[in-house]
Amino acid sequence: MRAVRALSAALLMLGLAAAPAAADSTPSPEASGDGGGPTRAGTSFRTATEVEQGQTATARASTGDYLYWSFPADAGQRPTVRATVKLPEGHAAETWQIDVYDGLRRRQACQYGAQTRTAVAGAASVELACVLRTVRAWSEPWADDPLPGTYYVRLTVLKLSADDLGKPVDAELRVESKDMGGAAAVDGSLSEPLVPGVASRPEEESDDTSSAVLAGLEPEDGWTSGWWSDRWIWTAAGGALAALAGVLGYRLTRGPGRPRHVPPGA
């Protein structure tokens, strides 16, 4: 019995000693990075910083720099891009603009939103917004419709005084999407999403330096995750109603049934 008790005590002490080490190895919520977005921006399409939808990306830059981010958008989504630029004190009037490009680097028009705005002299910040058209699962080659894949956002200043060039600014970017459902469904889909370019990621994360790394972000449920929509429900309901209407129409047009034949002498 004494040997068993001694062994149990030793195992208990070993577990207590290992518990702090296990606790120290668990990353804290702040260190995991799950709740925040990237804190920098790229300077070209090639080095665009990836940001997930629903995250807020921040960056500190100089007035006159071109800032680039990229985000994934799938079929059936209508992305909304919002940007806020915190301006330095004592600045003159400045005009800022955001542009959105698809995976083929085609500039996408905004349905509505303040894509270009002018901040008056001394304004603390300027807010921009761009609501894109609904992303289609398939489109004609000659069309300029938004398709599933990577989208690029470029933020820059268009007009400013020479004295304000190079002053520090803080930029924030946030992308959110609305699911448009079966109303945006089309008969067709792309074989692969449009995700060209090289993602901006540390070199140590890539073991193979001989091949380019495609954009790593994608929708939560994967590409073409919106294959199911309420369009299927309406189609099935329409088919059932059509069958019911056919049965009722047959009953109405058939008329009264023929009288049963009674043999003579019955």
What is the residue extent of each domain of the chain?
36-224
Say how far apart CA 56 and CA 54 lie, in whole Å. Answer: 7
Average pLDDT, the chain: 76
| Averaged pLDDT for residues 44-66 | 94
CATH of 36-224 given 3.40.50.2300, 2.70.70.10, 2.60.120.380, 3.90.1150.10? 2.60.120.380
Q: pTM higher than 0.85, yes or no?
A: no
Q: What share of the chain has pLDDT > 70, as a percent?
A: 64
Q: Provide the pLDDT for residue 160.
A: 93
| Averaged pLDDT for residues 83-104 | 94
Say how far apart CA 250 and CA 245 lie, in whole Å. Answer: 9
The yes-or-no verdict on residue 203 having pLDDT over 80 is no
Q: Provide the pLDDT for residue 188.
A: 62
Pairing of strands 168-179, 125-132: unpaired
At 146, the amino acid letter reads P
pLDDT band at 182 (very low <50, low <70, confident <90, very high): low
Most confident of the ranges 30-34, 71-75, 85-89: 85-89
> How many helices (DSSP H) and strands (DSSP E) are in the chain?
3, 11
More confident residue, 216 or 17: 216
Q: Provide the pLDDT for residue 165.
A: 94
Q: How far is CA 197 from CA 49, 96, 110, 193, 201, in A?
A: 12, 26, 23, 13, 12
Q: Provide the pLDDT for residue 227.
A: 53
Q: Provide the pLDDT for residue 247.
A: 81
The beta strand positions in the chain, using DSSP E, are: 49-50, 56-62, 67-73, 77-86, 94-101, 107-108, 110-112, 116-119, 125-132, 149-159, 168-179
Say how far apart CA 68 and CA 48 lie, in whole Å. Answer: 5
More confident residue, 211 or 144: 144
Q: Provide the pLDDT for residue 84.
A: 97
175 beta partners: 81
Candidates 124, 137, 75, 71; CA nearest to 98 is: 71
| Averaged pLDDT for residues 2-26 | 39
The H or E element containing residue 23 is: helix 2-25
Candidates 44, 60, 22; CA nearest to 197 is: 44
Give the distance, in angstroms, between the CA of residue 97 and the centroid of all CA atoms in the same chain: 21
| Averaged pLDDT for residues 129-144 | 87
107 within 8 A of 113, measured Cβ to Cβ: no
Q: Is the dihedral of CA 178, 192, 44, 161 positive or negative?
A: negative
Q: What share of the chain has pLDDT > 90, as a percent?
A: 44
Segment among 3-7, 98-102, 141-145, 175-179 with least mean pLDDT: 3-7
